[in-house]
Structure 1
Amino acid sequence: MGTISTLEDTIQIGNKLEKETANFAVLKENVDKYNALSKNMSSILTTFEQRLGKLEQTILPVYNETEHLQQRQTNLETTIHCLETVLSHYDASQEVCNLIHLGPSEGNITTFLDALDKLKRAKDYFLNNNSQSVELENVTSLFNTGCESLNNHFKALLKKHSCPMKPVDLLDLIYIEEDSSNEDCSSIKQLSPNTREELNVIANWLEQNLRREYKDIYSEERSDVVFRSLQHLKDHQKSGSWGNEPLKARHYGRVESKKSTSARLQNIFEKKANKMLLRASQTIEQSTGFSIKKNVSHGDHLATEDHSDGDQELDKYLVLLLGLQRLLVWERTLLNDIVPPSQQPDVFLKLAENSIDLVIKDAESITNRILRSISRKEWSAALGIFSALKRVILLQPDIDRTCDLRQKEQLNKVLNKLQQTGAKTLEQFLEAVKADSGTNIVGMTASTLSGSSVPKDATVYELTSNTIWFIEHLFEHFDVIGGILQQDPGYINAIDSITVRKSFSSEERNKALLGVYIRKVLAELNLTIVNKCEQYGDTATKHLFRLNNVHYVLKSLQQSNLLDLVRIVEPECERSYLDIIGEMKLAYQRSWSKLLGYISPLDELPRPINGKVKEKERAIIKERFSNFNKEFEEACKIQRGISVPDVILREGLKRDNAEHIIPKYNRFFETYSDVQFSKNPEKYVKYRPQDVNAMLTNLFDDSVV
């Protein structure tokens, strides 16, 4: 079994060997074939490479020559183009000469500008390549002529489509068109979109070519339009119809009813005040979450002011200032449409210069007139300065948005001049109260005697009533007056001493500043009243004069907002006046002391026994009755002619007199009226107690005989 198995394995191994030997022979045969193919391919590639190299050596010179020929062709074409360009530069002056001399025409500016561009290119060529050429002079001269024609055309276009606004149109713009779009302005309508586009094209071309004469042309032409518009408005204001024109309606062709100029201005500035309030409210609400109430410093005061008797010259000036602001807004719009942005500030500055000067000179004229009124103590005319100042301040944000820095500085002269005049008004009024020159302090008919004499009837002195009138009107303008007074270190120090104890808002600070001023005025008024009462000959009249005036001041302060204003800086103001009134009443009662000295005290007089007195005592009683009668009659005669305008004060004084005099006289009368001290007792016992009471009741009434 073992042998058989070994034989089978040998047979299998032999078969596998034969099979592998056959496979090896086949593989060797294939390898030989592959080697043969590789040699053939290598031979073919070598041959191809040799032929390709020969072809390259043959074609490369041809290619290089072709490239050189193409470069020569390009150079030739470039040279021909340059020659054509150079020739065109030489021909430029002849080609465009007629067009340049004819000048540009409206609506067809592009052709003319193309001609100028051609001359510009020719000029640049000759300058860079042949500066000695005659053609340089020709194209330069023709180019300058064209630019001059272009400037003239620019000017002609502006003149043709620009003219001053009619006064009624400008007033319509001022009074009605505050919220209208730019296109609603008749000044804008004068320059149509096509005209503005053509002017813009010209201006940009001139700017690119550094020909900036157009700036002066534009500023001069539009400056003239604005200036003449304002001048026409001024001339119109001098006419009798100014201030009563019916306004144009913006819808349905209706005409609004006539309003006074003051009413229209009030409406405009109320809107501005409300807008300022709204912006301030929104700012505060956004930052803090709190809203603010309506600001009484602008809107309410504008509404409560009585403008019917306002200063018409100030109204006219405010209209002029509003007109300037409106016109400059529209000019700014035109400028944006026509002049390149880089040149707009300079052009706008020149454009507005003359008109701003006009407004500034008018402001100086008005303030000088008000200063003359101040020198004449015509304070009612001077009060208008505060209303004007308030409105100029309201207009300031619009001016700031419209004008450049230098223009704002110029127009600030108006504000400064008004503030200086307001400060002068306050200062001079205080001096007038202090000096009391006897002039007509508010420009009304004087009720006092000539000079600085006090009233005969010891009533309220005209200085007192007019001072109260003046400071009551100042309260309407506490906001602007506060701004004026804070320039004075004395007022600032007074406020600083108060703010140590209490913090103030801006509005409260302005009221406090005015309160300091009113306190000064009242102090000077009180001192003047004390000095003036010395002009009276008798003591009672002196006290009654001072009492009348001090009482009038206190009641006026109580009935207006002034007392609260003064309390900010003088908390005990009311108490001080009440104390003075009490002292004056007591002083007046003491003026009866001489009279009462004749009838009291009874202990110092003879005592009758059984209705009789001694012989030597009769003379004393006669003298006492006689002196009382004489003193009483003289006092009643004087005091019947004294006026006490306030009913409560007057009746209180009468009651005090009766309580002070009647009881004492009644005791004296009861004691001595039946005593036999004279053969003619009726000569001495002239008045019964009821007669004395009746005569006292008739005091302060010069109508009683």
Structure 2
Amino acid sequence: MGQTAPARTVSDMAMDRTLEIAELIITKWDQDTSTFAKVTSLFHENRAEAKEFIRCVNELQKAMHSVVSENSNSEKLIRAQCLMEIGMKRLQKEFYQILSMNRAHLDPESVSTRSSLSTRSSTSDYEDNDDDEIRLAGESITEVEDVSSVAMTDLRLIAESMISSGYGKECVKIYKIIRKSIVDEGIYRLGVEKVTSSQIHKMDWEVLEIRIKSWLNAVNVAMKTLFKGERILCDHVFASSDSIRESCFTEITREGASILFGFTEIFAKSSKKSLVKVFRSLDMYTAIASHWQEIESIFSFDSTSAVRSQALTSLIKLGESVKTALKEFESEIQKDKSKTPVPGAGIHHLTVDVMNYLSLLADYSNVLGDILVDMPPPAISSLPASIFDGSDSDDSQSPAISTRFAWLILILLCKLDGKAKHYTGNGNVSFSYLFLATNLQHVISKVRTSNLKYLLGDDWVTKQVVKVKQFITSYERLAWDHVVKSLPLDPSAAMSTDQAKEWFRRFNSAFEQAYYKQSACVVSDSKLRDEIKLSIAKKIIPTYRKFYNTHRVTIGREKNSCTARFAPDDVGNKLSDLFFEGTGSSESSSSMSSSSLHTKTSRSH
């Protein structure tokens, strides 16, 4: 008995000292008894005193635990409990004021870009080092970031004190209400609103596209600043409790994240599919995929698994909509039934439309590779074997996306092969080959000037270039060989005047017939146009020039003779005028003039 009394005396004395010190500072800031305390912020007025206030509250809590184990009915314990309630009420107010007054400094962007302070140090570390830490941080961050660091430090001090004192519920309630309003407001300001399937279904495309563009900007800001900043702040303030961190972050961000990712999910499920809308689907898929690591990191809690699941579902649904669009695109190519030959054997609208579409799709090759990886390979056997010409190697090892693009172009070329036959019915067999050449050249040009070149590769392009040359060779043979054959094999050979006249008449007739017929043709590609004209000129002009120079004197002796109707330069001028759209435009728009054509054909012999 005599030995226990001194221990109680020591305990009582310690409690008395703690109560005395705590009562001085806690009652000073009792907002119910002090007008000064009611209108003044402790942490704003005097951070050193605020730090002392927190220390006294924590010491009081420790003393209460010590006393309650000895005498739960102690009057000192009751007195301490009253002081604790006053202190917690004060801290609750301070917590609210800091959150409210620093909305601008605790906005997610400021928080997400602030210099990283230690988010796992203990309360005692903060009691000893928080001012030094803030001072050091302030040397390397902006003034706004410095203010946010101070606010975050104060919030953490208060939160840890309230949680350890059993007042975590009150602290968390304030935090959730204020921070959720900030996140919800942020989502709204980014232009993202909750929509239903029926609303999207009824929207005009122009309106929906505006919504999508707003969403694309919103998801970038949300993942880089809004949700990221909120996660950093939550992790920092409630570093002492994993369960509270998770609970707060989940409740604050769940609704905003659901609205954000719900838009894409509903769009993918509900929007009317079209070939144009596939690009917006790809934009949204790209946005989510590019932020996937952030989504997994920021929403890593078990209680936020629904957000991850919703984002993943959006990716899957958007990917499925893209696959469906590609199937529809393939079907549209195959269903094209236009039979009217393109005037001048020019580029078919189907070629233009398909290649424009594919070149735009190729810009999304990174995400398309992921989307198409499990798509069944095309049934090449469904196309006629003649379209392959034995030049396509086994591409079973090619990426799915490369195979798919090559397949779609193959379908286009197959359709063009069928459309080329429409010229033969009009007796313009040569036109069919020129049509195939100009359209394939357009395909090659679009491939070379877009990301398609990386998907299809140089070998593919080289094979198509060979095919263009084959088509041109066939065209020249059918369209111009009879002109070449209208001249003697030996243009310099001696012959009678009548024989010379007959050869001139044959050439005049053959050339005029060919020129008249081929002047209707159009070759849009300037390089190909010049190559064709030069090739034709090399076949005709050198031989005709020799014949003309050898026999024009004989023919010219006859009065008013017009048998030698064309001089070699006249032939060159005529050829240089070919393959332009319209008439009379060649003088100004020709990339190969008659003089250059004359020079090149002369040099070749």
Cα distance in 2 for partners of 1:643, 1:629 equals 20
Tell me: CA distance 1:653–1:594, structure 2 relative to 1, closer, same or farther (3 Å): closer
Change (3 A) 1:148 1:329: same
> Which residue matches 1:545?
435
Question: 2:524 matched to 1:644?
Answer: yes
Structure 2 unmatched runs, 5+: 9-29, 43-49, 120-133, 135-140, 193-211, 381-393, 490-494, 586-605
Please report how far the alpha carbon of residue 581 of structure 1 lies from its aligned counterpart in structure 2 after TM superposition: 1.1
Q: Deviations over 1:44-82 (max 9, x none)?
A: xxxxxxxxxxxxxxxxxxxxxxxxxx89x99xxx9xxxx
1:700 Cα offset (Å): 1.4
- Cα deviations across residues 277-307 of structure 1 (Å, max 9, x unaligned)? xxxxxxxxxxxxxxxxxxxxxxxxxxxxxxx
| Correspondence for 1:584 among 435, 457, 471 | 471
- Per the alignment, do residues 455 and 592 of structure 1 end up closer, same or farther by CA in structure 2, a change over 3 Å counting? closer
Distance 1:666 1:225, change over 3 A: closer
Give the aligned residue type for 1:653: I
1:552 Cα deviation from its structure 2 partner = 3.4
Aligned to 1:319: 221
Is the contact made by 2:341 and 2:422 (CA closer than 8 Å) also made in structure 1?
Answer: yes
Deviation at 1:480, TM superposition (A): 3.0
Q: Which one of 176, 201, 220 corresponds to residue 161 of structure 2?
A: 201
- Alignment match of 2:183 (pick from 223, 226, 240): 226
Q: CA deviation at 1:435?
A: 1.9
Alignment of 1:697 onto 2:576: yes
Q: Which residue of 2 aligns with 1:291?
A: none
Work out whether residues 321 and 359 of structure 1, in 8 Å CA contact, stay in contact via their aligned partners in 2: no
Report the Cα offset of residue 584 of structure 1: 1.0
Paired residue for 1:330? 232
What secondary structure does 2:276 align onto?
Answer: coil
Q: Provide closer, same or farther for how the CA distance between residues 524 and 342 of structure 1 changes in structure 2, counting only shifts above 3 A.
A: same
Change (3 A) 1:150 1:320: same
**Distance (Å, rounded) in 1 between the aligned partners of 2:189 and 2:313:** 27
The answer to whether residue 293 in structure 2 is matched with residue 403 in structure 1 is no
* Aligned with residue 392 of structure 1, among 291, 301, 307: 291
Aligned letter for 1:490?
P
Superposed CA RMSD in Å reads: 5.9
Q: Which residue in the other structure is 2:410 paired with?
A: 523
Q: Which residue number corresponds to residue 484 of structure 1? A: 371
Q: Specify the SS of the correspondent of 2:377.
A: helix
Paired residues, number: 466
Q: Per-residue displacement from partner, 1:292-340 (whole Å, max 9, x unpaired)?
A: xxxxxxxxxxxxxxxxxx9675234311222233223323334434x63
Matched AA of 1:484: I
Tell whether 2:541 aligns with 1:631.
no
Distance 1:704 1:405 in 2: 74
Q: Distance in 2 between matches of 1:194 and 1:656?
A: 84
Q: Is contact 1:162–1:190 with CA below 8 Å preserved after alignment? A: no
| Paired residues for 1:374-453 under 5 Å | 375=274, 377=276, 384-385=283-284, 387-389=286-288, 391-393=290-292, 396-397=293-294, 399-400=296-297, 403-418=300-315, 420-421=317-318, 424-425=321-322, 428-429=325-326, 431-432=328-329, 435=332
What SS does the corresponding residue of 2:417 show, helix, strand or coil? Answer: helix
Question: Does the residue aligned with 2:238 lie in a helix, a strand or coil?
Answer: helix
The SS at the match of 1:592 is helix
For 1:423 and 1:454, how far apart are their aligned partners in 2?
37
Change in Cα spacing, 1:179 to 1:654, as seen in structure 2 (3 Å) is farther
- The 1:202/1:540 distance shift into structure 2, 3 A limit, reads same
Give matches, 1:173-322, under 5 Å: 177=114, 185=145, 188-189=148-149, 191=151, 193-206=153-166, 215=172, 218-232=175-189, 234=191, 314-322=216-224
In 2 relative to 1, CA 599–488 (structure 1 residues): closer, same or farther, beyond 3 Å? same
What is the distance in 2 between the residues matched to 1:663 and 1:159? 96
What is the CA–CA distance in structure 1 between the aligned matches of 2:583 and 2:309, rounded to whole Å?
59
Tell me how far 1:565 sits from its aligned partner. Answer: 3.6
1: CA distance between counterparts of 2:222 and 2:148?
19
| Structure 2 residue aligned with 1:656 | 535
Deviations 1:69-109 (A, max 9, x none): x89x99xxx9xxxxxxxxxxxxxxxxxxxxx9969998779
- Aligned in 2, Cα 1:644/1:407: closer, same or farther, shift over 3 Å? same
Is the Cα–Cα contact under 8 Å of residues 533 and 575 in structure 2 kept in the other structure? yes
1:219 and 1:351 in contact (8 A); partners too: yes
Question: For the Cα contact (< 8 Å) 1:400–1:408, is it kept in 2?
Answer: no
Q: Mapping of 1:339-350 within 5 angstroms?
A: 340-350=241-251
The one-letter amino acid of 2:96's match is K
Q: Residues of 2 paired with 1:187 and 1:423: CA distance?
A: 47
- Secondary structure at the residue paired with 1:704? coil
**In 2, Cα distance between equivalents of 1:160 and 1:101:** 14
Q: Is the 8 A contact 1:188 1:330 kept in 2?
A: no
Judged with a 3 Å threshold, the aligned counterparts in structure 2 of structure 1 residues 673 and 621 are, in CA distance, closer, same or farther, namely: farther
In structure 2, the CA distance between the partners of 1:366 and 1:205, relative to structure 1 (3 Å rule), is same
AA aligned opposite 1:355: G
CA distance in 1 between partners of 2:361 and 2:115 (Å)? 30
Q: Show the counterpart of 1:48.
A: none
Q: Is the 8 A contact 1:314 1:388 kept in 2?
A: yes
In the alignment, the residues of structure 2 paired with residue 573 and residue 582 of structure 1 have an alpha-carbon distance, to the nearest angstrom, of: 15
Check the 8 A contact 2:187/2:256 in 1, yes or no.
yes
**Distance in 1 separating the partners of 2:253 and 2:358:** 39
CA contact (8 A) 1:455 1:461 kept: yes
Equivalents in 2 of 1:356, 1:198: separation in Å? 28
Q: Distance in 1 between matches of 2:214 and 2:348?
A: 30
Q: 1:173 to 1:699 in 2, by over 3 A?
A: farther
1:304 matched residue in structure 2: none
Deviation at 1:192, TM superposition (A): 5.7
Distance 2:328 2:544 in 1: 48
Give the superposition deviation at 1:404.
1.1
Say which SS state the counterpart of residue 162 (structure 1) adopts. helix
Counterpart residue identity of residue 652, structure 1: E
Structure 1 residues 700, 219: closer, same or farther in 2, change over 3 A?
Answer: same
Code of the aligned partner of 2:532: L
2:255 corresponds to 1:354: yes
CA deviations 1:678-701 (Å, max 9, x no partner) are x9985x875566544432232113
Deviation at 1:638, TM superposition (A): 0.9
Report the AA paired with residue 350 of structure 1: E
TM-score, structure 1 normalization = 0.50
The superposition leaves residues 245-279 of structure 1 with CA deviations (integer Å, 9 ceiling, x where unpaired) of: xxxxxxxxxxxxxxxxxxxxxxxxxxxxxxxxxxx
TM-score for the superposition, normalised by structure 2 = 0.57
Q: What CA distance in whole angstroms lies between the structure 2 residues aligned with 1:593 and 1:386?
A: 53
Larger radius of gyration: 1
Distance 1:637 1:165 in 2: 75
In 1, Cα distance between the equivalents of 2:311 and 2:220?
11
CA positional deviation for 1:348 = 3.1
In structure 1, what is the Cα distance between the partners aligned to 2:328 and 2:149? 55
Contact 1:155 1:218 in 2 (8 A): no
Distance 1:650 1:341, change over 3 A: closer
